[in-house]
Every structure is written in C-alpha cells, then in structure tokens.
Amino acid sequence: MRPRRFMPVGPLKGTIRVPGDKSISHRSIMLGALAVGETRVTGLLEGEDVLSTAAAMRAMGASVLRQAQDDRGGAEWIIHGVGVGALLQPEAALDMGNSGTSTRLLMGLVASHPITASFIGDASLSKRPMGRAIEPLSRMGAEFTASPGGTLPLMLRGASPAVPIEYRLPVASAQVKSAILLAGLNTPGVTTVIEPVPTRDHSERMLRGFGAELSVEIDSDGARVIRIRGEAELKPQVIEVPGDPSSAAFFIVAALIVPGSELTIQNVGLNPTRAGIVEVLRQMGGNITEVNPREVGGEPVADLLVRHSALKGIAVDPAIAPSMIDEFPALFVAAALAEGTTVTTGLDELRVKESDRISVMAAALSAAGARVTETEDGLTIEGTGGDPLPGANNQPVATHLDHRIAMSMAVAGLASRGGVEVDDTRPIATSFPQFEALLDGLKG
Ligand code: S3P
C-alpha cells in the first residue's frame, strides 16, 4: 500500500497535457501485432494496463519495442506484427494485471486462433465478470474453463476455423463488442455485432484504418449493426494516440471545484462516444471552452480551457452514461461540491468495474463529509454549494485497487478543509502514471 493525503490547494493555473488514450493505446498494440510489417505509435499511454497488453502480444509472437524519442520522455513504439491467423501459443499464463480491456479483447483474439492461453489477473480483475465475453466467443467455437462465476483465472482454447455469428449485445460494453470483432478478424465469412446502445467506437475506426472490411449500419430500431469480414489482412499504420478524456476528467473537475482556477488541458480526445462528461459538467454550469479543435489519429481533439464555476446539481440522463462510463467517480466529486441535488440512475455497469464504483464512491465521499445516498443503480448527492468538504483525515478512504477511485478522491481532497487521505495510490499507475506529478506541478 502507498497511502497519501491530498491537501487543499490554491487555484489551479497553467497548462497541462494528459497522456494517451488507454482504449486507443491497447488497440494500437493489438492491431499492430496482427498487421504484417511495421506499425509506429506515438503518444502511447505507458500505463500498466497497456504494458500488460504489450507483454501479451510479445508472448504470442509480435515484436513490441519502445524507442526513446526525446529527452522529455517522449517515445515511439515500434510493432512488428505476425499477421492475422498467425498468433503463437504463449508459453506461460498471460498476466492481465488490473486490466479488463486487455483481458476481454485478447480473449477475442485468441478465440479464433489455433492456440490455448491461460489468463490471470490481480485481485480486482479476478472478481470481474468474464461470462459476457465467454458466451459469444463460445458460440464462435472457442472453449473455456473459467473459475466459478465465470472469472479469472481461466483457460481458453481457440477455435480453428471459428464460426461467424450474429450477436446482439445484452449489455452496453465496448469490450464485449470489440472481443467479438477481433475474433471475427480470423473467422471465415462475416461476423455481425448488433449494438442497441452505442458505446465507444475506437475498435470500428481503427479496424477500418488498418484495412479490415467493416461496415456500420443503423437498423430500423436505431441499433448499430457492425459487420466485419474475416480472414482479413491488416496493413501496418502510423498512429498518433490522442489524449485520454478519462484522464483529463480528473483535472477538469479539479479546476471546476477549486476556487480561482483557470487551467488549460491540451490534446483531449473528444470522440462523441467518450465526451459525455464535458456535456454533463456544462449542464451543471461548468465553464469549459474548446480551443483549437482538430483531428489527431482520426479522432476529434481539442484543448480545454476550464475555469472555476459555481456548479448546480442536476438529474443526469441515464442515456448519456455509456459515453462517460469511466467518468462517474469524478462526476460524483463535482456533484458533492455543487449547489443542490445530483441524481444519477441506470449505472448498474459501474458495479462491475475495477471496483463497485457506486458503493465504493458512496463510502469514500461520505467519509470525506459529503451527503450521499446509494441507490440500486446510482448515487444521489446533496452538494455543499461550493463550500469545501470537511475532509477525511482520521481514516484513509478505501480505493479497492481502483485507479479512478484513488484519483477522484485525490481531487476531492483539493476541495476539502482537512484533506483526504487515500489508502493506496499505486493503482493510479494502471492508467495515469504522471497524475500525481502533474497535480503537484500545478500546486506550484
Ligand atoms: C473500454 C470499455 C469500457 C470502459 C473501459 C475501456 C474499452 O468497458 O469502462 O475502461 O477500451 O473498450 P466496458 O466494455 O466494460 O463498458
């Protein structure tokens, strides 16, 4: 455990740049590892989750190398892929660490290759449901031996050839969608995923970018019908990964709630399937301006100028949840400082993230003196109207191996009277290794 107390600060001013998008980083390595030839990636997130994906792709035959680019820590990642259908049998279990994305997407890749792989992970990942990916991948012919409850550790024997399926997603999950599409890459014929509720579309954009034949159609019920033709040949790419809006969210909320703040966050990815947090914070009265909108790596990006704002509580439309699914812990902190009541509903999926983010945030915010009520599928939060939270000093708040809980409560500490002690900051390195250094730099 590495505990740390996050103390109240003066205004956050200046300019920061957030690291590369986690979802796009995972997919860059996976698709690069399947393309024949050299893929080059800049802006890759060098967090532990993405490094788990890199290690797994190496274990299955790809070459994934980091090349230092400049003395400010920039790097280019050079990937030589094996070709679709040519992944090698890994010699040891694939250690997925804390990463649900690595696990579910790689299960998809292995499912249509003639190899067997074991997947293991940390205590948090080993509790998370894998049945949602096992079910469709079994229909494609893969065979699984999972731990009770459909969890890790599990063993997966891929099918060769796999069988193309048409699958309607029962849960809104980009990971499950992507697992099926990636399995479809090495499956003869056309694999179809029907997505009634849209989720992040990085897999679709990037598979197309690498040359796969993929189409998206909206059916008469408004569902997205995604088709991929298998036995694809992927062409290597040069990729610039845009900044991660999920990492930016902590600094957006921090600047909104710390009086006097005026912060520019550069290079924030604003793909519409990810940008829900900006919309909701604006509905609450957040002053967020998009500067220099542009495209990076085929994704919309802008610099965000965020000024301290008097936030107001709102009822958050559950339909927006998939486009900000990882940002609710940060939103709950903003709500705790707003005037009036914020009501969130329809968030069942938050209970199966790196932790149960509904109950863990309810406990952590209550410990910091916020007024929070947990419901079956969300939180209701009575804000302070801008007054600092009392803080949580006597007892550290429990983060349960969840990076986003740790960062959210660090931000809550900035807008508290007595500070907030977080029990363990180590999980932050899974997605945002520079978080504490960036924050400390702003405190001047
Ligand atoms: C991700 C999808 C989401 C998200 C996760 C990253 C992805 O998970 O929470 O952090 O890269 O596809 P679900 O598919 O479980 O919603």
* Cβ-contact 241, 44 below 8 angstroms: yes
Q: Are both 101 and 30 inside the same structural domain?
A: yes
* Cβ-contact 409, 399 below 8 angstroms: yes
* Cβ-contact 358, 385 below 8 angstroms: no
Region 365-381: what's the mean pLDDT?
Answer: 98
DSSP 389: B
- Whether this model's pTM surpasses 0.95: yes
Q: What atom in ligand 1 is closest to the CA of residue 22?
A: 11
Which of 207, 225, 240 is the last residue before a domain boundary?
240
Sequence-separated (6 or more) residues with CB below 8 Å from residue 99: 26, 48, 49, 52, 53, 121, 125, 430
pLDDT of residue 331: 99
DSSP H/E element including 413: helix 403-414
Query: Residue 384 has which token pair?
Result: 């302070």
Three-class SS of 327-375 = CHHHHHHHHHHCECEEECCCCHHHHHCCCCHHHHHHHHHHHCCCEEEEE
Which of 225, 240, 255 is the last residue before a domain boundary?
240
pLDDT of residue 297: 86
Tens-digit pLDDT profile for residues 96-145: 999 999 999 999 999 999 999 999 999 999 999 999 999 999 999 999 99
Q: Look at strands 38-42 and 238-240 and give their pairing.
A: parallel
| Residues at CB less than 6 angstroms from ligand 1 | 23, 101, 173-175, 178, 200, 325-326, 349
Higher pLDDT, 392 or 56: 56
Q: Are both 232 and 288 inside the same structural domain?
A: no
Q: Are both 177 and 293 inside the same structural domain?
A: no
From CA 295, how far away is CA 242, in angstroms rounded? 9
Query: In which band, very low, low, confident or very high, does the pLDDT at 361 lie, cut at 50, 70 and 90?
Result: very high
282 has a pLDDT exceeding 70: yes
Domain that holds residue 163: 22-240
Query: In which band, very low, low, confident or very high, does the pLDDT at 393 lie, cut at 50, 70 and 90?
Result: confident
Q: What mean pLDDT is reported for the chain? A: 97
How far is residue 54 CA from its own chain's centroid? Answer: 16
Q: CA 26 → CA 54, 56, 113, 153, 311, distances in Å?
A: 8, 11, 19, 21, 35
Q: Are both 118 and 137 inside the same structural domain?
A: yes
Region 141-150: what's the mean pLDDT?
Answer: 98
pLDDT of residue 444: 59
Atom 9 of ligand 1, residue of closest alpha carbon: 326
Q: How far is the CA of 104 from the centre of ligand 1 (A)?
A: 9
Region 427-431: what's the mean pLDDT?
Answer: 98
Q: What atom in ligand 1 is closest to the CA of residue 177?
A: 14
227 has a pLDDT exceeding 70: yes
Region 307-318: what's the mean pLDDT?
Answer: 98
415 has a pLDDT exceeding 80: yes
From CA 388, how far away is CA 6, in angstroms rounded? 13
Cis check for the bond before 153: say yes or no (omega within 30 of 0): yes
Q: Which position among 21, 244, 326, 424 bears the catalytic label?
A: 326
As a whole-number percent, the residues of the chain with pLDDT over 90 amount to 97
As a whole-number percent, the residues of the chain with pLDDT over 70 amount to 100
Which of 218, 240, 262 is the last residue before a domain boundary?
240
Region 64-85: what's the mean pLDDT?
Answer: 92
Q: How many structural domains does the chain have?
A: 2
Region 281-309: what's the mean pLDDT?
Answer: 97
The CATH number linked to 412 is 3.65.10.10
Among the listed residues 348, 340, 400, the one whose alpha carbon sits nearest the alpha carbon of residue 378:
348
Among the listed residues 186, 279, 276, 188, the one whose alpha carbon sits nearest the alpha carbon of residue 233:
186
Q: Are both 289 and 228 inside the same structural domain?
A: no
* Cβ-contact 72, 101 below 8 angstroms: no
